[in-house]
Amino acid sequence: MNKGIVMQITSKHLIIMRADGRFERVSRRKRTCQIGEEIEYDKPGVNWRSSSVAGKSAIAAAVVFCLVVFASFNGKLGSPEIVAYITMDINPSVEIGIDVQENVLELRGLNEDGNLLIEAVEFKGRNLEQVTERLLDNAEREALAKGEGEIVIASTVILPDSKVNDESIAERLKQQVTKHIETTHPQQANQYQVAAFAAPKEVREAASQNGVSTGKYSVYLNAKSSGADVTLEEIKKESVLQIAKNKPEVAQSIQPSRVPTKSDLKQLVEEEKTGELDKKVNEKKGSAKNSPDPNGKNQTGAKAGKGQTQSDRDGKNSQSGTRNGTSSGGKDDPKKTTSSQSKNGNSRDDDDDDDDRKGSRNTRDDDKKDNGKTSSGSGSKPGTSGSGGSRGRDDDDDRKQEEVKRGDEAKRAEEARKKAEEQRKKQEAERKKQEENRKKQEEERKKQEELRKKQEAERKKAEELKKQQEEEASKKKEAERKKQEEEKRKKDEAERKKQEAERKKQEEQRKRTERSDD
């Protein structure tokens, strides 16, 4: 209930002056009162029985109802709903949930590195492209700063009725990631590989049950389908890049020409459940064990050929030693025979030495019969006969050829060593260059981070200053308002007192008039 002084009376309303000096018009409601009398009254409300009020209320209700129905038909009534998930594996694995407008509603890390990657990433109110770019910028600190990488992107629609194309999303993200790498790593762009594909929700469900991302699980299924011996533990603990390095067949399974379709992945999930993929891996292992070593025959032939060549050389040297012994015309010298054998690299036992000495005697006897007429006598030196000199020259030619051959082999080996050394130096220089570029990018990133922090500090300072100014202005305005109200209240109070005095004066005059009439 409110109190006020009646200042004016009409047939239907009363004009009341409140305690704060303001005036109100209230319904008279058969109330009997006089000007200047203090009365109690209710706050004026809405007269719902009035035709104008009822009509306006009905129109407002109809408008609200139409808005609600329109919003419900357009799918905007209530909170937005996630219609698709996208996983991105660098080494950090993350998953992004989007609505039909591709606004990000959920962002979570699928491993420890993924949790670190999404720290300080503000995704609310941002679309998929903006959040992906922020994630790539954060990945430049660790995963993408290595100069090489295998990035796997998988998109999955969980609400088939939604107008979202998971294949289009995967392709657009692949182009975005590729463009980012070409911009940040122009010299090492060919060392990065980006694989993107759409995966059915069955793959995502199986991946979630096994604690890995949809992209990694798809790589696991496709690699096993090709016969690659890869386990889920490897998929969980290692990055796709590391697995691809250790097992080239895994790297082949994510080549653009080998990327599986949604129907292929759906079938692979079923084969994994029934054990068909394990059978494929075991069959490939068995065929690899039963297949012959392609280098075995060549290595054996090489060894046999080498042994034959050495035997031929030993035979030639033995013949040379025998001929020299024949030309000497004296008795066999075991020391000379042993020395000759030692120089030619032959190691024989005592029986072989006896056979050689017997063969040498028989040879000398034959030579004496054939060359008795032309021989210069028993005192001639070895190699003075024509046939002996020819054989000696043949041995010299063989030795020279062997030395030339060995020299060529040593030269080729030296050239190969130099070439390998140059390649190593070139790789080392490239690595140093990449390291310098990485450090330069890191310094640039730190510089940008410092600039961002500085700008953030300035922004906060400006906001604090603005807030302080607004508070001061608000306080000043409030003080001014209170001052004006106080002045108005005093003025109204004076006016009220004046009216009260006037009322009393009129009352006294009325009484005097009544007395005079009496």
Domain ends where: 260, 289, 318?
289
Please check whether residues 22 and 103 belong to one and the same domain. Answer: no
Name the token pair of 308: 């034959």
Name the token pair of 442: 């890191």
The share of the chain scoring above pLDDT 70, in percent, equals: 72
Please check whether residues 145 and 13 belong to one and the same domain. Answer: no
Please check whether residues 181 and 244 belong to one and the same domain. Answer: yes
> Max Cα separation, the chain?
203
pLDDT in tens, 94-132: 999 999 999 999 999 999 999 999 988 999 889 999 999
* Residue 196 CB contacts under 8 Å (≥ 6 apart), including other chains: 152, 153, 154, 155, 170, 171, 173, 174, 259
Give burial (CB, 10 Å; 0-12/13-18/19+) of 52.
Answer: exposed
Residue 249 domain flag: yes
Report the alpha-carbon distance of residue 151 to residue 142 in Å, rounded. 14
Please check whether residues 255 and 189 belong to one and the same domain. Answer: yes
Give the mean model confidence (pLDDT) for residues 41-58: 56
Using DSSP's 3-state secondary structure scheme, residue 46 falls into coil
Residue 74 domain flag: no
Q: What is the 3-state secondary structure (H, E, C) of 283-349?
A: HHHHHHHHCCCCCHHHHHHHHHHHHHHHHHHHHHHHHHHHHHHHHHCCCCCHHHHHHHHHHCCCCCC
Which residue is it, tokens 């379709």?
Answer: 261
Please check whether residues 23 and 171 belong to one and the same domain. Answer: no
Note the pLDDT of residue 320. 38
Separation in Å, CA 340 to CA 219, 317, 322, 324, 392: 67, 8, 10, 10, 14
Q: What is the dihedral of CA 137, 138, 143, 149, to 10 degrees?
A: -30
Please check whether residues 37 and 114 belong to one and the same domain. Answer: no
> Average per-residue pLDDT in the chain?
76
Report the alpha-carbon distance of residue 10 to residue 495 in Å, rounded. 21
Note the pLDDT of residue 366. 47
**Segments forming the whole domain that contains residue 33:** 1-44
Residue 324 domain flag: no
Residue 301 domain flag: no
Please check whether residues 150 and 277 belong to one and the same domain. Answer: yes
Q: Rounded to two decimals, what is the model's pTM?
A: 0.46
Using DSSP's 3-state secondary structure scheme, residue 460 falls into helix
Report the alpha-carbon distance of residue 237 to residue 232 in Å, rounded. 9
Residue 51 domain flag: no
pLDDT in tens, 483-503: 998 998 898 889 899 998 988
Please check whether residues 144 and 32 belong to one and the same domain. Answer: no
The top-scoring range by mean pLDDT among 38-47, 124-133, 381-390, 472-481 is 124-133
pLDDT in tens, 415-424: 888 888 888 8
Q: What angle do CA 139, 144, 149 make, to 5 degrees?
A: 135
Please check whether residues 96 and 191 belong to one and the same domain. Answer: yes
The pLDDT of residue 58 is above 70: no
Please check whether residues 34 and 90 belong to one and the same domain. Answer: no
Bigger pLDDT: 468 or 77?
468
pLDDT confidence tier of residue 86, bands split at 50, 70 and 90: very high
Report the alpha-carbon distance of residue 144 to residue 161 in Å, rounded. 36
Residue 50 domain flag: no
Residue 295 domain flag: no
Please check whether residues 272 and 147 belong to one and the same domain. Answer: yes
Domain ends where: 289, 324, 358?
289
348-380 in b/e form (b: 16+ CB < 10 A) is eeeeeeeebeeebeeebeebeeebeeeeeeeee
pLDDT confidence tier of residue 185, bands split at 50, 70 and 90: very high
Note the pLDDT of residue 110. 92
Report the alpha-carbon distance of residue 150 to residue 117 in Å, rounded. 17
Please check whether residues 16 and 155 belong to one and the same domain. Answer: no
| Number of domains the chain is built from | 2
Bigger pLDDT: 378 or 278?
278
pLDDT in tens, 196-242: 999 999 999 999 999 999 999 999 999 888 888 889 898 888 888 88
Residue 117 domain flag: yes
Which one-letter amino acid corresponds to residue 396?
Answer: D
Q: What angle do CA 423, 428, 433 make, to 5 degrees?
A: 125
Give the mean model confidence (pLDDT) for residues 395-405: 83
